[in-house]
Amino acid sequence: MNKLTEERFQKKENRFVPYIMSCHPTYEASIEIALTLQEAGVDAIEWGVPFSDPLADGPVIQQAGDRARKAGGSLRKALEGMKEARQQGLQAPVVLFTYVNPVLSVGFEKVIEGMKEAEIDGILIPDLPFEESEELRKLCNEAGISLISLIAPSSSHRMEKISRLGDGFLYYVTSLGVTGTRQSFSDQISHSINELKKTATVPVLAGFGISTRDQVRHFQSIADGVIVGSALVRFIGEREQALLSENESKEALKEIKEFVQELIS
Amino acid sequence: MNPIVKFCGMRSFEDYQKAVSTEASMIGFIFAPSKRQVKAADVSEWTRAKPYKAHQQLVGVFVNESVDKMVQQSIEAGLHIVQCHGSETIEEVTAVKKGTGALVYKTIHHHEGALEEMRQYRDIADGFVVDTKTQDAWGGTGVTFDWQAIPKYTEEANRQNVPCLIAGGVTVDNLAKLQRYRPLGIDVSSGIESDEKKDERKMMAMTKAVNNTYQAPDYLGRFGPFGGKYVPETLMFALEELEKAYESIRHDEEFARQLHKELKEYSGRPTALTHAERLSDHYGGATIYLKREDLNHTGAHKINNALAQGLLAKKMGKTQIIAETGAGQHGVASATVAARFGMSCKVFMGAEDIRRQELNVFRMRLLGAEVIEVHSGGKTLKDATNEAIRHWVANVHDTFYLIGSVVGPHPYPMMVRDFQSIIGEESKKQMNERIGKLPDEIVACVGGGSNAMGMFYPFINDDVKLTGIEAAGKGTETPEHAATLTKGRKGVLHGSLSYLLQDEDGNIIEPYSISAGLDYPGIGPEHAHLRDIGRVKYEAVTDDEAMAALQDLCQFEGILPAIETAHALAYVKQNAQRMSKDQVLLVCLSGRGDKDVHTIQQVLGGDNQ
Ligand SMILES: Cc1ncc(COP(=O)(O)O)c(C=O)c1O
């Protein structure tokens, strides 16, 4: 049991889940941003772990990761930062978004332990597909943590077996390719999401490339919610200086809040 | 993972005892009318007299028997597995399962609709046996079916997550051939008999052959714990498509013929085997032979794999080839193949490497390829590979990713190994022809590990010492090296689990070597496995040691090797004298050094003029 599997998240409509990178632009600032997102009314937060070789990410998140690593970011720091955010009043469900190598490096058990301490509800590892996830899935089950699975438009016959083990929510990848903003999406996607919703026992959230208010509305009408990453991460990156300055950080946080509220509106 | 071995058709207590004493994991009895038919009461008596081993399971074979009889006999005989070998319906299979609590295997008789039939038993059968279909007998005839079909049965069984045994005419003599199709299990009856009795020697020969033959990867692409497919879901489809395409050409004679033609008439294979007489004398010890991959078109072994993957891409109907490159050797090979086969080619290359390898960049463009400059990360091979994968994800429908070494997600490490195995196969033949025996030791340099894997693989079951040489750069005690196996930790990079140079947070560390082709922070997963099981020994040599050996080969044999290859030669320089003249040391001369002249000049410039 965790906050993702609770009724509040499972029964909510038009879920909105933003992705931010821990330690981006700094450890402290990323915690404040997480708290700001909660104020803006988001339904959960994806908490990214910086990694040297983020295969599934486009340039925006790659650069944010490089910046975060310069600021001391790592899996350990991400866990520590979330623990602190919880102490400062963060209530929203949180999903740790990390590549598999940092997790292997720290060790599955230790990561789960750290997640429990930081009250992190789910984990999403883009380069750990279904076939490779058995061991971690077992550990997550025992710890009551949701292992979030990705489903792609090309998953076809794999869709059923992945959705059968869906936990927390299913992450439907709305475009082939990496994360990053997109102008347009294939029409086939809405059909495919509808198919998925028929067999899924948990909400289906759409993400990858969604960046504007219209796109958010569009996908909320098809899926059970949306995830926005690169657009927000870029917005944060552009305010790096302000976020780091004592005088301007309040204003920058306010802008981030308004940006998100605009996306949800 | 070794295949399951089932010894079937025990007719007597003696037969049964022999089976128990072997390593077979399943022992089978025929309850249907046949010369091998036995009674449930006999089986129960035999097992009481001689208990089977803890890991062994008893299997009873029935042909169109009534459910009640199957249940009753199965319980009386104490069967673990009921094998429905006739045309039992789904309802009957389900009823037997319920009635006995045992596992139920369904036999599928190989024919056109067999795969469809197998699918109908999904979630019902606990396993399958695929047997030869004959006119008037339900198997046991000792006749084989067309084994080319095995991979698709295996694939379906894997999808259902159940075992699938291959039956029909398996013998000690054709076992090696059968294993090339990587069955999940084998089911033998007549092949282990002499004079209508089970033959203990044949049984032993069979389990020994199965257990001692090196077999990797398994169906998940695992070499021991290494390998696998650690890629985003968006790529799984493309890998499955590639796996299917590869399985379809793997044993295809027409594909083999086309590839052979290209290797021979375009690349100039077979490459020579050269006795390095003066070098042997100079080092004073082992008799040194060189397998001359440098004589290939484009100057290195990389073309073997590029031609093969290029042909496969064409066969799959892809119009675009993409490739990653560090030094540019694989980029050149890919661009070459694209030109030859009339496909467009994009080569991803780190901005830093582009700066260092100006000439190869020019060469690739001359061949008509587009060189894409990569600015992420450290701007070298690792980042070029990331970018190639990202591009592939977005363009899988028309794009073939031509990976240049035994790295990446399954099936690449296996496929590239197979395509490079021509090196070892030719060497084996040439050695036998020239000196009538195999070499005592074989040495190859290891970057990702493709020339080494291609050289080693055909010798893996032979009594030959195998040694891989990594790049120690400025020394493994400094931070500047590329000695992945010597200094790395287990981790995932570019889609597979292997050893990696990484920091304590799991971020990948930029490696260093004077040779761009060895400058990679990972290593093929099969090398990780071969090291851990002790089959191959790995050592690391420094830039300086490699450069010294490079000059020796120039001066004593008139061959300028690639700097990568010079690493293997440095090991020879250090170890040849420990061997005697009647011992043969074979070196994989992976490439020529023309591409390196500039670097060599910079390093040696001062004292060599
Ligand atoms: C001549 C030569 N040898 C060896 C290598 C290393 O690659 P691998 O370990 O895959 O054989 C390269 C790579 O560029 C090469 O060009």
pLDDT of residue B3: 87
Tens-digit pLDDT profile for residues B367-419: 999 999 999 988 889 999 999 999 998 898 899 999 999 999 999 999 999 99
Tens-digit pLDDT profile for residues B320-333: 999 999 889 999 99
Query: Mind listing the domains of chain B with CATH numbers?
Result: 4-213 (3.20.20.70), 226-268+299-412 (3.40.50.1100), 273-297+420-605 (3.40.50.1100)
Asked if the Cβ–Cβ distance from B231 to A103 is below 8 Å, we say no
A66 CB neighbours in chain B (<8 A) are 377
Closest CA–CA distance from residue A176 to any residue of chain B (Å): 5
- What does pLDDT average to over chain B? 94
Amino acid at B46: W
Is A7 within the bounds of a domain? no
Contact B388, B322 (CB under 8 A): yes
Contact B488, B502 (CB under 8 A): yes
**Residue numbers of the domain that contains A170:** 13-264
Report, as an integer, the average pLDDT of B57-83: 96
Helix (H) or strand (E) run with residue B160 in it: helix B150-160
Is ipTM beyond 0.90? yes
What percentage of chain A carries pLDDT values higher than 90? 86
Report, as an integer, the average pLDDT of A206-227: 94
Residue nearest to atom 12 of ligand 1 (CA): B517
B405 CB under 6 A from ligand 1? yes
Joined together, the tokens standing for residue B361 give 């960049």
Q: Lowest-confidence range among A176-180, B207-211, B348-352?
A: A176-180
Tens-digit pLDDT profile for residues B450-459: 999 999 999 9
Could you tell me the distance, in angstroms and rounded to a whole number, from the CA of residue B518 to the centre of ligand 1? 7
**pLDDT reading at B4 higher than 80:** yes
Neighbours of B604 (CB within 10 A): 14
pLDDT band at B356 (very low <50, low <70, confident <90, very high): confident
Q: Specify the residue for token string 């086939």.
A: A188
pLDDT of residue A38: 98
Between B40-49 and B13-21, two packed helices, what is the crossing angle to 10 degrees?
50
**pLDDT reading at B607 higher than 60:** no
Is A146 within the bounds of a domain? yes
Is A255 within the bounds of a domain? yes
Q: Which atom in ligand 1 lies closest to the alpha carbon of residue B451?
A: 11
pLDDT of residue B214: 84
B451 CB under 6 A from ligand 1? yes
B446 CB under 6 A from ligand 1? yes
pLDDT of residue A45: 98
**pLDDT reading at B175 higher than 80:** yes
What percentage of chain A carries pLDDT values higher than 70? 100
Dist CA A111 CA A133 (whole Å): 15
Q: Where are the beta strands (DSSP E) in chain A?
A: 15-21, 45-48, 94-97, 122-124, 146-151, 170-173, 204-207, 225-228
Is A3 within the bounds of a domain? no
Neighbours of A103 (CB within 10 A): 23
B591 CB under 6 A from ligand 1? yes
Is A43 within the bounds of a domain? yes
Closest CA–CA distance from residue B505 to any residue of chain A (Å): 6
Dist CA B311 CA B318 (whole Å): 10
Is A78 within the bounds of a domain? yes
Dist CA B135 CA B110 (whole Å): 12
pLDDT band at B608 (very low <50, low <70, confident <90, very high): very low
Closest CA–CA distance from residue B31 to any residue of chain A (Å): 37
Residue/partner pairs of B38-42 with CB below 8 Å, 24 or more apart: B38/B10, B38/B11, B40/B72, B40/B73, B40/B74, B40/B76, B40/B77, B41/B76, B41/B77, B42/B13
Report, as an integer, the average pLDDT of A38-60: 96
Report the CATH number that the domain containing residue A20 is assigned in CATH.
Answer: 3.20.20.70
B227 CB neighbours in chain A (<8 A) are none
**pLDDT reading at A53 higher than 50:** yes
Q: Is residue A101 classed as helix, strand or coil in its secondary structure?
A: helix
Amino acid at A171: Y
Alpha carbon B44 to chain centroid, angstroms? 43
What percentage of chain B carries pLDDT values higher than 90? 85
Helices (H) and strands (E) in chain A, counts: 13, 8
Q: Is A69 on the interface with B (CB under 8 A)?
A: yes
Residue nearest to atom 4 of ligand 1 (CA): B564
Is A2 within the bounds of a domain? no
Tens-digit pLDDT profile for residues B523-568: 999 999 999 999 999 999 999 999 999 999 999 999 999 999 999 9
Residue in B363, B515, B587, B600 to alter for ligand 1 test, most ligand atoms within 8 A of Cβ: B515
Indicate the number of domains in chain A.
1
Cross-chain CB nearest to A178 (options B390, B494, B507): B390
**pLDDT reading at B137 higher than 80:** no
pLDDT of residue B342: 97
Is A32 within the bounds of a domain? yes
**pLDDT reading at A149 higher than 70:** yes
**pLDDT reading at B429 higher than 90:** yes
**pLDDT reading at B262 higher than 80:** yes
Tens-digit pLDDT profile for residues A93-132: 999 999 999 999 999 999 999 999 999 999 999 999 998 9
Dist CA B310 CA B323 (whole Å): 11
Between A108-117 and A134-143, two packed helices, what is the crossing angle to 10 degrees?
30
B455 CB under 6 A from ligand 1? no
How many CA atoms lie less than 13 Å away from B112 in the CB half-sphere?
Answer: 0
Dist CA A41 CA B100 (whole Å): 57
**pLDDT reading at A181 higher than 80:** no
pLDDT band at B609 (very low <50, low <70, confident <90, very high): very low
